Amino acid sequence: MMTPQVITPQQMQQILQQQVLSPQQLQVLLQQQQALMLQQQLQEFYKKQQEQLQLQLLQQQHAGKQPKEQQQVATQQLAFQQQLLQMQQLQQQHLLSLQRQGLLTIQPGQPALPLQPIAQGMIPTELQQLWKEVTSAHSAEETTGNNHSSLDLTTTCVSSSAPSKTSLIINPHASTNGQLSVHTPKRESLSHEEHPHSHPLYGHGVCKWPGCEAVCEDFPSFLKHLNSEHALDDRSTAQCRVQMQVVQQLELQLAKDKERLQAMMTHLHVKSTEPKTAPQPLNLVSSVTLSKSASEASPQSLPHTPTTPTTPITPVTQGPSVITTTSMHTVGPIRRRYSDKYNVPITSADIAQNQEFYKNAEVRPPFTYASLIRQAILESPEKQLTLNEIYNWFTRMFAYFRRNAATWKNAVRHNLSLHKCFVRVENVKGAVWTVDEVEFQKRRPQKISGNPSLIKNMQSSHSYCTPLNAALQASMAENSIPLYTTASMGNPTLGNLASAIREELNGAMEHTNSNESDSSPGRSPMQAVHPVHVKEEPLDPEEAEGPLSLVTTANHSPDFDHDRDYEDEPVNEDME
DNA sequence: TGATGAATAAACATCA
DNA sequence: CTGATGTTTATTCATC
The residues spanned by each domain of chain A are: 202-231, 241-269, 348-443
Residue A338 approaches strand B within 7 Å at CB: yes
Find the range with the poorest average confidence among A336-345, A383-392, A485-494: A485-494
pLDDT confidence bin for A403, thresholds 50/70/90: confident
Amino acid whose CA is nearest the C1' of B15: A430
Gap from A14 CA to C4 C1', in Å? 55
Over residues A420-444, the pLDDT tens digits come to 999 999 877 788 999 988 888 877 5
Query: Between A186 and A50, where is the model more confident?
Result: A50
pLDDT, greater one: A370 or A518: A370
Nearest protein residue to the C1' atom of B10, measured from CA = A410
More confident residue, A86 or A561: A86
Instruction: Tell me which amino acid residue A571 is.
Output: V
- Which of residues A251 and A153 earns the better pLDDT score? A251
For residue range A71-109, what is the model confidence (pLDDT) as tens digits? 444 445 445 455 555 555 545 554 444 444 443 333 333
In window 347-376 of A, residues with CB < 7 A from nucleic chain B are: 367-370
pLDDT for A444 equals: 55
Asked whether strand C has any atom less than 7 Å from the CB of A391, the reply is yes
CATH topology for the A348-443 domain: Arc Repressor Mutant, subunit A (1.10.10)
φ, ψ (nearest 5 deg) of residue A482: -80, 150
Are A187 and A169 a contacting pair, CB within 8 Å? no
Q: How far is the CA of A535 from the C1' of C12 (A)?
A: 43
Residues A516 and A456 sit within 8 Å (Cβ to Cβ): yes
pLDDT, mean of residues A220-246: 72
Q: Which nucleotide is nearest to A448 (CA to C1')?
A: C16
CA of A339 to C1' of B3 (A): 20
Nucleotide closest to A334 measured between CA and C1': B7
Band (pLDDT 50/70/90 cuts) for residue A369 is very high
Query: Considering only CA atoms, which of A369, A362, A252, A401 is closest in space to residue A315?
Result: A252
pLDDT at residue A338 in the model? 41
Angle between helices A452-478 and A348-360 (to 10 degrees): 40
Residue A381 has pLDDT above 80, yes or no: yes
Strand B: positions under 7 A of a protein C-beta atom? 4-11
User: How many CB atoms lie under 10 A from the CB of residue A320?
Assistant: 30
Average pLDDT of the residues in A180-203: 48
Q: Which nucleotides of C are covered by protein (CB under 7 A)?
A: 4-10, 12-16
Element (H, E) at A441: helix A437-442
**Most confident region among A394-398, A475-479, A509-513, A567-571 by mean pLDDT:** A394-398
- pLDDT, tens only, A40-67: 555 555 455 555 545 554 444 444 333 4
- What's the confidence (pLDDT) of residue A360? 79
What pLDDT, on the 0 to 100 scale, is given for residue A374? 92
Average pLDDT, chain A: 50
Is the shortest CB-to-strand distance from A6 to strand B under 7 Å?
no
Distance CA A149, CA A255 (A): 24
Ranked by mean pLDDT, which of A251-260, A379-388, A506-515, A533-542 comes out on top?
Answer: A379-388
| A289-343 residue pLDDT tens | 333 333 333 333 323 333 333 333 333 333 333 333 333 333 444 454 443 333 3
The answer on pLDDT for A567 being more than 90 is no
Distance A420 CA to B10 C1' (A): 22
Strand B reaches within 7 A of the A440 CB: no
Beta bridge partner(s), residue A423: A434
Angle, in degrees to the nearest 10, between helices A348-360 and A387-397: 60
Question: Residue A269: pLDDT above 80?
Answer: no
Q: Is there contact between A535 and strand C, defined as CB under 7 Å from any strand atom?
A: no
- Give residue A207's pLDDT band: very low, low, confident or very high (50, 70, 90): confident
Whether CB of A383 is under 7 Å from strand C: the answer is no
| Cβ atoms < 10 Å from Cβ of A332 | 11
pLDDT of residue A351: 62
pLDDT of A394 strictly over 90: yes
* The nucleotide closest to A404 (CA, C1' atoms): B8
